Amino acid sequence: MLGIRLYDTFKKAKEFFKKPIVHWSFGKWRNNQCLPVWRRGPILRLGKSPYSLKTNCYEVKNRVQIFTGYSTWTDSTGQEHKSKCYDWAATHKLPGGLKSGNIVWKRDIRKKLRKWGLSWIKPQYQLPIWLSFYIFNHDVGWKTKWGDTRYEWPPQFTVVFFGLAFSIWLKAPECKEEHAHDDGYWEGIIDYGFYKNKEDFDPVRFIKGQGWMHWTHYNPTEKEARSAIYNKYKNDKGYLPLSTSDEGKQMLEELKQYPGKEFAALCIRECHINKDKMEIYHKVLNEMKQKYNEYIWLA
């Protein structure tokens, strides 16, 4: 689409998922909801970036970090490591009306400028937001956490000119099902793009892996009874017996009196899947319904 990355991720999975819905907006960039989160005009630099290695200016701070010592920590292999610890000193007043975060020339350049009467020249100038001209091109944002894919933001494209922004972004197909949301749709597309070209790719296994979770719900009476059983078998240090021990087996037998109700969750919704893949989807759905009986719940 227009040569931008808006559909890059979706193209990998269009044979499995329905097309996303295109949304757009036009207005002041300050009020725009798309990335990036910062809103400011461009920076006109006369010097080098204060954060580069060979810079000729630096950022002023009204407080400094003080080294306080070392802390020790142990990694998973048992090896001990040392880390430096710092603390912030109390803030102090800066000379010449400077504020923390201002960019100033280094001393040798300041002397040369003062000599020629040009000490008023700054290393950089922040231009007003109405002079902003930017193009932001973001594919779907995601991260991995605890081994799972986590959706962050949708694909989006923004053009900023004279402080005004024209944005296009994608949303999951409209879904009237309860608890439907964009996360399951985009996380499914991201994972599908990774796994679909693998030799052992199995659509049934893929759907099962997309957000299938099962857990047990206990009513207040069951919770209280199970807590009493756990407390009964805890030792002086608060540990429960091993499940393979005689005491542990006896505890598990008592817990079976309060089984609770099992629930299952699937993040990919029926409204997200193409019609020609419905047979596979319902195969998984029926399998899980049989396993969890009438207590199936789609998250």
Residue 210 lies in a domain: yes
Residue pLDDT, tens place only, 92-104: 788 878 888 889 9
Helices 246-255 and 220-233 pack at an angle, to 10 degrees, of: 170
- Alpha carbon separation from 219 to 253, 257, 260 (Å, rounded): 19, 13, 7
Given this model, what pLDDT does residue 12 score? 67
Residue 275 lies in a domain: yes
Given this model, what pLDDT does residue 158 score? 94
Q: Please state which of the ranges 19-23, 52-56, 95-99, 231-235 shows the lowest mean pLDDT.
A: 95-99
Given this model, what pLDDT does residue 255 score? 92
Report the alpha-carbon distance of residue 217 to residue 281 in Å, rounded: 26
Higher pLDDT: 211 or 269? It is 269
Residue pLDDT, tens place only, 132-165: 999 999 888 888 887 778 889 988 999 999 999 9
Residue 133 lies in a domain: no
Residue 1 lies in a domain: no
Residue 4 lies in a domain: no
Higher pLDDT: 158 or 68? It is 158
Closest CA to 210 of 264, 172, 266, 262: 266
Residue 107 lies in a domain: no
Residue 276 lies in a domain: yes
Given this model, what pLDDT does residue 226 score? 92
DSSP per-residue letters across 78-134: S-EEEEEEEEEPPP-PPGGG--TT-EEE-HHHHHHHHHTT-TT--SEEE--GGG-EE
Q: Into how many domains does the chain fold?
A: 1
| pLDDT band (50, 70, 90) for residue 1 | very low
Given this model, what pLDDT does residue 253 score? 92
How much of the chain exceeds pLDDT 90, in percent? 27
Report the alpha-carbon distance of residue 272 to residue 155 in Å, rounded: 17
Query: Can you give the residue range of the structural domain that contains 220?
Result: 182-295
Residue 87 lies in a domain: no
Given this model, what pLDDT does residue 293 score? 56
Given this model, what pLDDT does residue 297 score? 53
